[in-house]
Structure 1
Amino acid sequence: MNKPLAGIRVLDLSRILAGPWCTQHLADMGADVIKVEHPERGDDTRGWGPPYLDGTQDAAYYLSANRGKRSIAVDIAQMEGQALIRELVSSCDVVLENFKVGGLKRYGLDYESLKEVKPDLIYCSITGFGQNGPYSKRAGYDFLLQGMGGLMDITGRPDGEPGAEPMKVGVAVVDLFTGMYAATSILSALLGRNQTGEGAWIDIALMDVQVSMLANQAMNYLTSGQSPKRMGNSHPNIVPYQAFATADGHIILAVGNDGQFQRFCEVAGVPLLASDERFATNRSRVQNRKLLVPQLERLLAEKPSAYWLEALEREGVPCGPINTIEQVFEDPQVQFRGMKMQLSHAEAGSVDLVSNPIRFNDQSLNADAPPPGLGEHTQAVLSELFPDRGDYLEKLKKQGVIR
Structure 2
Amino acid sequence: MGALSNLRVLDLTQVLAGPYCTMVLADMGADVVKIERPGGDLIRSNPPFVESDDEPYGGYFQSVNRGKRSLELDFGDAADREDFLSLVADADVVVENYRAGTMEKYDLEYETLREHNPQLIYSSIRGFGDPRTGETARQGQPSFDLIAQALGGVMEITGEEDGAPTKVGPGIGDLFTATLNCIGILAAVNHRAQTGEGQYVDTGMYDAMLSMTERAIYQQSYTGTAPTRQGNSHPTLFPYDAFETTDGYAVIAAFGTNHWQELCTAMDRPNLASAYPTAADRLENRETLRDDISTWASGLETAELVDRLEGRVPAAPVQSTEEIFDDPHVHAREMLIPVEQPGSGADVEIAGNPIKMTETPPEPRGRAPLLDEHREEVLGEECEVAADD
Which category of TM-score, normalised to the shorter sequence, fits these structures? over 0.9
Structure 2 CA distance for aligned equivalents of residues 358 and 13 of structure 1: 24
Q: Distance in 2 between matches of 1:197 and 1:326?
A: 49
Residues 308-335 of structure 1: CA deviation (Å, up to 9, x unaligned): 1111115x11111111111111111112
Cα shift at 1:50:
2.9
Provide the secondary structure at the position in 2 that maps to 1:36.
strand
**2:324 is the alignment partner of 1:324:** no
* Separation of aligned partners in 2, 1:155 and 1:380: 47
1:19 corresponds in structure 2 to 18
Amino acid at match of 2:245: T
Q: 1:52, 1:58 within 8 Å by CA — same for their partners in 2?
A: no
Question: How many angstroms does 1:346 deviate by?
Answer: 5.3
Could you say which residue in structure 2 is the equivalent of 1:293?
A: 290
- Give, in whole Å, the separation in 1 of the partners of 2:83 and 2:44: 24
Residue 45 (structure 1) aligned to one of 43, 46, 64: 43
Residue 305 of structure 1, CA deviation: 2.1
Secondary structure of the residue that 1:239 maps to in structure 2?
Answer: coil
Contact kept? 1:68, 1:367, Cα under 8 Å: yes
Question: What stretches of structure 2 of length at least 5 have no aligned partner?
Answer: none
Secondary structure of 1:242 counterpart:
strand
1:343–1:368 Cα contact (<8 Å) kept: no
CA distance in 2, matches of 1:388, 1:146: 45
Structural mapping, 1:113-132, within 5 Å: 113-131=112-130, 132=135
| CA shift for structure 1 position 222 | 1.7
3-state DSSP of counterpart to 1:223 = helix
- The alignment's TM-score, normalised by the length of structure 1, stands at 0.91
Higher mean Cα deviation, 184-193 or 377-386?
377-386
What is the CA deviation profile of residues 239-268 of structure 1, one whole-angstrom value per residue up to 9, with x for unaligned ones? Answer: 111111123332111114110010000010
Counterparts of 1:106 and 1:307 in 2: how far apart (Å)? 62
2:159 aligned with 1:142: no
Aligned equivalent of 2:300: 303
Do structure 1's residue 384 and structure 2's residue 381 form an aligned pair? Answer: yes
Distance 1:267 1:363 in 2: 44
Query: How far 1:199 sits from its partner (Å)?
Result: 0.4
Give the aligned residue type for 2:49: P
Find the counterpart in structure 2 of residue 284 from structure 1.
Answer: 281
Q: Which residue in 2 is equivalent to 1:198?
A: 197
Distance 1:385 1:245, change over 3 A: same
Residue pair 2:22, 2:32 contacting (<8 A) in 1 also = yes
Q: 1:395 corresponds to which residue?
A: none
CA distance in 2, matches of 1:187, 1:261: 42
Show structure 1 runs of 5+ residues with no match: 391-403
In structure 2, give the amino acid aligned to 1:342: P
Q: Give the alignment of 1:4-403 within 5 angstroms.
A: 4-40=3-39, 42-51=40-49, 56-131=55-130, 132-159=135-162, 164-276=163-275, 279-314=276-311, 316-344=312-340, 347-349=343-345, 350-361=347-358, 364-387=361-384
Cα distance change, pair 378–116 in 1 and its aligned pair in 2 (3 A):
same
336-345 or 133-142, larger mean C-alpha shift: 336-345
**CA contact under 8 A between 1:351 and 1:370: conserved in structure 2?**
no
Q: For the residues of structure 2 that align with 1:345 and 1:47, how far apart are their CA atoms?
A: 14
Query: 1:118–1:58: structure 2 CA closer, same or farther, 3 Å change rule?
Result: same
Q: CA deviation at 1:228?
A: 0.9
The CA distance in 1 between the partners of 2:359 and 2:336, in whole Å, is 16
Length-normalised TM-score, structure 2:
0.94
2:95 alignment partner, SS class: strand
Worse overlay, 54-63 or 74-83: 54-63
Structure-2 separation of matches of 1:368 and 1:146: 31
Distance 1:208 1:387, change over 3 A: same
Structure 1 residues 291 and 256: CA distance shift in structure 2, 3 A? closer
Shift of 1:231: 0.7
